[in-house]
Structure 1
Amino acid sequence: MNINPKAAGLSPLRLETLDRFIQARYIDEGKIAGALTVIARRGEVGHFSPLGLADVERKTPVREDTIFRLYSMTKPLTSVAFMTLVEQGMVALDDPVHRVIPEWRNLGVYRGGFMETFRTVRPERPMLMIDLLRHTSGLTYGFQQTTNVDAAYRKLQVGERTRDSTLDDMVRQLSTLPLEFSPGTAWNYSVSTDVLGYLVGKISGQPFDQYLHSRILQPLGMNDTAFYVPASKQSRLGSCYSATPKGGMALFDDCAKSTYLQEPSLLSGGGGLASTAGDYLRFCRMLLNGGTLDGVQILSPKTIQLMTLNHLPGGKDLPALSRSLFSEVTYNGVGFGMGFAITLDNTFTMLPGSVGDYSWGGAASTYFWIDPKEDLITIFMAQLLPSTTYPIRRELRTLVYSAFAESNS
């Protein structure tokens, strides 16, 4: 890969500072095993830097083609897949979800009780497709651990990558559970994007993974992105670690025994893909280019523009609407579009960037953002759970913008 920091308007010396910071603050101190940082600007790759180890136990270094678990960085891909169906006129953003999932027509909103004795009331309005895209659906995640509803999710293992569970099973389970709130009245990080994956399959008439491959992954040349890692690529999969209470890390998912080495029965559009930094860069370039890359059009520029506006009701930011304890973004001054967090006000985020830049991350500390005003893409790949352990995403934003040698404006 041709790397040209000066053509990207970046300072080579300041990029060295970025690498030294990650190496000294996180890798040398044993907080993370390794990382790969990619910065592209003005159509040029200005930085592509693998550091540390992909697998501590076998001393395998992070390489340019290391395969990482994306977890929730799967969500933007699923959201794009759904929007290709919107562009084809096969579904509309204001369609009720029960048009495709009839058993959800009478979903109630939680008012009391426990699993099997839930008391509910009717929602103020039906759940719409856009509620799934922007996490205002009333669904939740079991790991939120705040309500009796998410306790039921945990008991039923809703949306988890178990051996024999499927998307159909997940949708049937959800039909028996109440919503946390009336759709459109709050924001809650949830299995909404997994439901989108289910809908992509039902609306397109193709299995979700096949549609994703044929309409996005294959056209973009994302050849290393899939719901599992085949035997021919097993040596490139890194291990995943979890943070320990004393600031170290413990092996969570051994690359040699990983569940990602087998095709899952549940194709999680919310968190199931594995990929490389190079593949994800191609996806981000398509978004930054207005839906087209190397002559292949995935979406129209107007659709990308629509997806990256703040769609939270009333134009509010996340603190005004959020019910979640956990998210892949800091809240203040940040809204939410269709699959992405959107920066609304840098005086509230207290971070460099641009109004309208959009981002998301994954549970194992992966992260990306796209800043159209600066023609910038940044991708950070690491494998440490949970992503909230360290403030590395905030630090990365400061370090990347500090490496600008000249402004786009």
Structure 2
Amino acid sequence: MDSVRLARIGAWMERYVETRKYPGCSVVIARNGKEVYHHATGQRDIERNLPFTRDTAVRIYSMTKPVTSVAIMMLAERGLFHLDAPVSDFIPAFKDMTCLLPGAMNIAQVKACQTPTLHHLLTHTSGLSYPFNPGLLPAVMNDDDMLFRPDQGPLEAMVNKVAELPLAFEPGTRWEYSVSIDILGRVVEVVSGKSLAEFFAEEILGPLGMHETAFSVPQTARDRFAALYTPLAGDAMALNSAQKGAETLRCVDDPLKSPFLDATMHSGGGGLIGTIDDYMKFAEMLRRGGEFGARLLSPQTVAFMRRNHLKGDIASMGPASFAEQPMEGMGFGLGGSVVIEPGRTRVPGSVGDFSWGGMASTFFWTDPVLDLSVVFFTQLSPSSSYPARAELKALVHGAVIA
């Protein structure tokens, strides 16, 4: 990789900070298992004038989803279930499901339907949704505050509450970003007999050496926990009513008062706090086929996860939801998106790139063709505020010369 071209990444990051788009940010890039670039700039806490450093702890939100998906596949490798099992086998509240009729005008217009399977949940084709998506089901979820926030525990109660609602569509017929992975977090608890926090700590985070990643900010990282900012005038996650505010960096979660300091909800869809070096260990585990110091999965299982599990790309599945990635030319595996045609994504990349991001604009991808892993951290919600992910991929690919 060309060092001069890599240096463009730091300049790009500094422009984001100088123009008050991001408070601060950091990036780590590894090629063939060796670090080739790191840069950090800006502030993790503007109000207290604290720098955004390499060891800053951040909310990774939906970058928790790949971790939960790995947990599910670890249990599947042990023969404890198969992916076509209905979720009601583990969570009885999901028996006798209904879904909204096509063109339904209210939440009561439903018909009986199939119960989602574990595979439907893993691939966001379950019929579940998120409160910040458009539509009838998201509106009800929003009214009932079903966002799996860190202060909304315990997990079991919220999952059973979701099960009381109809699905937005017949499982398997569409793709819609959803709380599906939170439901899978509860499946991990039921099957393993451990809380999700215990399973993560004992079987994923601990073995990988991710000692500063958890659902509550680790004691060792509390003096390095970042504030969360938004350019919106209202709720940083209320995408249906999003309006730009006069202040581009308005603090919406003070690190000294954050509910993440003592989380009661173990959200497998968006609850983890961590550092960039910790997450690079997870990304490298995926790139290396399931092993980084300890083996979590077989290479065959990781290769299976990294395949496209949809009939085509996400765009062909009629999504009406927010998503962390482009939808054209992009498929979805188990835990993240998969590039199936780089040209159609309009973002430089390789076939097989596996990636996902979080609502606070964090992002990672691993590239099996270039043996590349990239992790980018900042703290600005929503992640759709700026085209940083596409720009970062172009910058990284522009630095690869052999």
2:361 alignment partner AA: S
Superposed, 1:31-50 pairs within 5 Å as: 31-50=21-40
Shift in CA distance, 268/286, structure 1 to aligned 2, threshold 3 Å:
same
In structure 2, the partner of 1:289 is: 288
Distance in 1 (alpha carbons) for counterparts of 2:153 and 2:259: 14
Does 2:354 correspond to 1:354? no
Tell whether 2:17 aligns with 1:27.
yes
- Which residues in structure 2 correspond to 1:91-102 (within 5 Å)? 91-102=81-92
> Pairwise mapping of residues 1-400 of structure 1 onto structure 2 (< 5 A)?
10-24=1-15, 26-111=16-101, 112=104, 114=106, 118-123=108-113, 125-144=114-133, 146-161=134-149, 163-244=151-232, 245=244, 246=246, 248-262=248-262, 264-294=263-293, 296-312=294-310, 314=311, 316-400=312-396
Tell me the equivalent position of 2:236.
none
Alpha-carbon distance in 1 for matches of 2:32, 2:128: 39
Distance 1:293 1:232, change over 3 A: closer
Q: Is the 8 A contact 1:120 1:178 kept in 2?
A: yes
Instruction: Report the alpha carbon displacement of residue 320 of structure 1 after superposing the two structures with TM.
Output: 0.9
What is the TM-score when the length of structure 1 is the normalising length? 0.92
Give the AA of the match of 2:69: S
Distance between the aligned counterparts of 1:230 and 1:373, measured in 2?
35
Task: Name the count of aligned residue pairs.
Answer: 388
Question: How far apart in 1 are the matches of 2:177 and 2:200?
Answer: 23
The alpha-carbon distance between structure 1 residues 100 and 396, as it changes in their structure 2 partners (threshold 3 A), is same
Question: CA RMSD of the aligned region, Å?
Answer: 1.3
Q: Which SS does the other structure have where 2:251 is aligned? A: strand
Matches of 1:48 and 1:162, distance apart in 2: 30
1:356 counterpart letter in structure 2:
G
- Report deviation, 1:175: 2.2
* 8 Å CA contact retained: 2:150, 2:271: no
CA–CA separation in structure 2 for the residues paired with 1:387 and 1:163: 22
Q: Residues 252 and 164 from structure 1, CA distance in 2 versus in 1: closer, same or farther, beyond 3 angstroms?
A: closer
Determine the C-alpha separation between the residues in 1 that align with 2:112 and 2:304. Answer: 30
Contact preservation (8 Å) 1:159, 1:266: no
Counterparts of 2:164 and 2:401, CA distance in 1: 56
Q: Report Cα offsets for 1:148-178 as digits up to 9, x if no partner.
A: 2111111221243163532111122122100
CA contact (8 A) 1:159 1:268 kept: no
Asked if 2 retains the 8 angstrom alpha-carbon contact of 1:159 and 1:167, the reply is: no
Q: Which moved more, 1:344-353 or 1:195-204?
A: 344-353
Moved more, 93-102 or 278-287: 93-102
Q: Give SS of 1:142's match.
A: coil
- Distance in 1 between the 2:150 and 2:54 partners? 30
Q: 3-state SS of the aligned residue for 1:143?
A: coil
Rate the CA distance shift 1:172–1:209 in 2: closer, same or farther, 3 A: same
> How many angstroms apart in 2 are the aligned matches of 1:31 and 1:291?
36
Which residue does 1:7 correspond to in 2?
none
Shift of 1:243: 1.3
CA shift for structure 1 position 113? 5.3
Task: Tell me the residue number matched to 2:400.
Answer: 404
Contact in 2 for aligned 1:37/1:381 (Cα 8 Å): yes
| Amino-acid identity (%) | 39
CA–CA separation in structure 2 for the residues paired with 1:160 and 1:88: 28
Which amino acid counterpart does residue 140 of structure 1 have in structure 2?
S
| Contact 1:311–1:338 (CA under 8 A) maintained in structure 2 | yes
Distance 2:90 2:352 in 1: 32
